[in-house]
A and B are shown apart, each in its own frame.
Chain A
Amino acid sequence: MTSAALQVEEAAGAARAGPLVSRQATRLLPALFQLRNVDHRLMVLEIGSALPETVNFFSEFKCRLHFVDLFGEAFVRDQQSELSEQELRDAFAQQLRFPEGTRFDLCLLWDFLGYLDDSALRAFSSALSPWIHSGTRAHGFGIHHLAIRLDNIQYGVIDRETLSVRQRLTPQLQHHPHSQIEMQEMLTCFRFERGLLLPDGKLEMLLKQRP
């Protein structure tokens, strides 16, 4: 196998999606679309691997989807606590590289923020900030307490009010709870627009770019 093909195998291999296990209603995702008055190509960043239902959902829109599966990256998975904040920032910046002029309208963060420790969260925020604009909104889930279980799952979009939930086939990452105040302090590129505490203890978050 050529090195290029091997690279594809490795890059894509980490992203294999598991079977669809359930559907989850979302109260905040519709707001991402209601708030927008998009007259240009919708720019969407998803932190995670591409799922059929998500691609199918966005096929209604004139859009460009960027999938960046950071869940499988070694610096997130194994080396988060060993690397300095600057090293983490560089590593995130390496992954979050897009064509010149790219500014995302929507960021689908899912539960990624819950797997980042304090310095990784700050580094991620710093690396993402050049790629968002004043109207950018993001959606994600957070946990504020270690007792709250973060399942090893990945999300997709079935429609504006329904998410797909799939088993993640890679080993689960260590999760790092952050209170809303801590999140606010460390995720400097966004501010909370709305938060909704879900029955399982997770916090569904609607975020807006912080000036």
Chain B
Amino acid sequence: MFDKHKPTRQGEPESPEPAATPQPPKAAPAPASAGSANVAMIGPGIRINGDVSADSNLRIDGHIEGRSIESPHDVEISESGKVTASVTAKVVKIAGTVNGDIAGSEKVVISRSGRVQGNIVAPRVQLEDGALFRGSIDMTPTDSASSANAEKQNRSAGEAGTRPTVVTDQGKAATGSSRKDAELTLKSG
């Protein structure tokens, strides 16, 4: 009789309580690249032959061989990550090995442990001391206004709180280490 979750009787006016359908929790309003939320991960033991498309941030600890890796957000290739494919994202950060062209609509960063062979196109490219790079860099600096605008758009996208799922072309989860709240589409090459 004290059940607070008792359903509303028919004919009664709808209460202003939250709807019965649970709402997804909002993503933390942190910058997309800073938080661990909305990050799809390809774990260190995973090897993928094919293309990868993500709707969220993507972290690659494993190996990918294919034509392309794409995300409208950030792609991070960690120290153990090895990629033979082109990479297209907003921010691409490389601490591992990449053999392929890289396009960053905002920035490309090659960390001190990063090894890259390919052509980079981005408004800003940052090479850390010790980074190894061979290829070409195509830079078109943007003004601070457009950077600020991009940052604003990024924040809005983060607040929208996308709730994707992990899908492979076989319809199986890509890996146990992949997070449930990220979307990955893998296309066999």
Contacts and interface: CB of A to CB of B under 8 A. Distances in A.
Nearest to A9: B115
B134 interface: yes
B189 to A, nearest CB: 13
A65 B137 contact: yes
A4 B99 contact: yes
B128 A5 contact: no
Interface stretch (B1-9, B119-127, B144-152): B119-127
A50 B127 contact: yes
B115 A59 contact: no
A8 B97 CA distance: 7
The DSSP consensus for interface residues of chain A is mixed
A64 B137 contact: yes
A101 to B, nearest CB: 14
A16 B128 CA distance: 12
Contact of A7 (B99, B125, B131, B135): B99
A55 B117 contact: no
Given A50-B127, A55-B137, A65-B139, A13 B84 contact: no
Contacts of B136: 64-67, 98
B132 interface: yes
A15 B129 contact: no
Give the size range of B's interface with the partner: 20 to 34
Interface string A7-49: 1110111011100000000000000000000000100000001
A85 B36 CA distance: 56
Contacts of A62: 139-141
Given A12-B117, A49-B133, A64 B128 contact: no
Contacts of A7: 99, 117
Contacts of A98: 136
Contacts of A13: 115, 132
A165 B65 CA distance: 37
Contacts of B132: 12-13, 15-16, 49
A72 B46 CA distance: 33
Interface in B70-117: 82, 84, 97-99, 115-117
Interface in A121-154: none
Nearest to B96: A5
Contacts of B128: 52
Contacts of B125: 55, 59
Contacts of B129: 17, 52
Contacts of B116: 8, 12
B179 interface: no
B130 interface: yes
A155 to B, nearest CB: 15
A191 to B, nearest CB: 27
B127 A5 contact: no
B115 A67 contact: no
Given A49-B132, A65-B138, 8 more contacts: A2-B82, A41-B138, A55-B127, A55-B137, A56-B126, A56-B127, A62-B141, A65-B137
Interface of A: 1-2, 4-5, 7-9, 11-13, 15-17, 41, 49-52, 55-56, 58-67, 69, 98
30 contacts: A5-B63, A5-B82, A5-B97, A8-B99, A8-B117, A9-B97, A9-B115, A12-B115, A12-B132, A12-B133, A15-B132, A15-B133, A15-B134, A16-B132, A17-B129, A49-B132, A50-B133, A50-B134, A52-B128, A52-B129, A52-B131, A59-B124, A60-B141, A61-B139, A61-B141, A63-B138, A64-B138, A65-B136, A67-B134, A67-B137
Interface of B: 63, 65, 82, 84, 97-99, 115-117, 124-141
